[in-house]
Amino acid sequence: MEPVRNPDSEWYCVRSQPKHEHIAAAHLRNLSAIEVFLPRIRFKRATQRGPSWATEALFPGYLFAKFDLKQSLRAIQSTSGVQCVVSFGDRWPTIPNLVIQEIMATIGQEDVRVITDEFKPGERVLIAEGALLGLRAVVTRVMPGNERVAVLMEFLGQKSHAVVSSKSLVRDGEERIVNGG
């Protein structure tokens, strides 16, 4: 449903309940005269079952809504999944349209930006499945078709080279282990 345009509408930052950004966004979209933008990223991370795709809010705990503050503040703050509209005392700062447009242009039409799993030489990675599970390595070469990657790692106290499937790697720093996948 396309929101009714109100000339007094401005963009505000809305704080959601923890890990409920998508729930808050869905409920806010059901309100009239509210435009909602929840930028998200999709990326691969390590799980106990190997690499898995995850989708998370670009700004965890926050989303953006365009509305008339006087008309809609109370309805928004009582919406399921919403904790509050960000304020400083009795002042609710607005977000310039240009800022929202730039984020939208970066994220894309679907509100989800996919972080590709293409690796580059020199990049630090974590092996997320197989016999080398949990080892950190550095990409030394990407093999044809981007399906295999040569890595350099420290194994049993020595530097060793190995060729692994790019599907079994995640970028170092994205290795949060998730129970059950």
Check which CATH number belongs to the domain holding 77 and give it. 3.30.70.940
State how far the Cα of 29 lies from the Cα of 34, in Å rounded to an integer: 7
Looking at the fold, whether 63 and 139 belong to one and the same domain comes out as no
In a shared domain, residues 101 and 54: yes
161 shares a domain with 110: no
Assess whether 36 and 91 both reside in one domain: yes
Is 94 found in the same domain as 75?
yes
Residues 148 and 68 in one domain: no
CATH for 146: 2.30.30.30
The answer to whether 38 touches 111, Cβ cutoff 8 Å, is: yes
Whether 4 maps to a domain, the answer reads no
Q: Pick the most confident of 67-76, 140-149, 156-165, 169-178.
A: 67-76
130 and 104 part of one domain = no
Pair 72, 35: CB distance under 8 Å: no
Asked if residue 3 belongs to a domain, the reply is: no
Residues 160 and 91 in one domain: no
Greater confidence (75 vs 125) lies with: 75
**Is 57 inside a domain boundary?**
yes
Is residue 108 located within the same domain as residue 155? Answer: no
Q: State how far the Cα of 173 lies from the Cα of 54, in Å rounded to an integer.
A: 14
Q: What is the pLDDT of residue 94?
A: 95
Helix (H, G, I), strand (E, B) or coil at 2: coil
Q: Burial letters for 152-176: b for 16+ Cβ neighbours within 10 Å, e otherwise?
A: ebeeeeeeeebebebbbbbbeebbe
Total domains, the chain: 2
pLDDT of 30 reads: 95
What is the C-alpha separation between 177 and 94, in angstroms, rounded? 37
User: For residue range 138-161, what is the model confidence (pLDDT) as tens digits?
Assistant: 888 877 655 677 777 877 677 877
| Nearest alpha carbon to residue 172 among 81, 44, 72 | 44
Range with lowest mean pLDDT among 99-113, 119-133, 135-149: 135-149
Q: What is the span of the domain harbouring residue 48?
A: 10-114
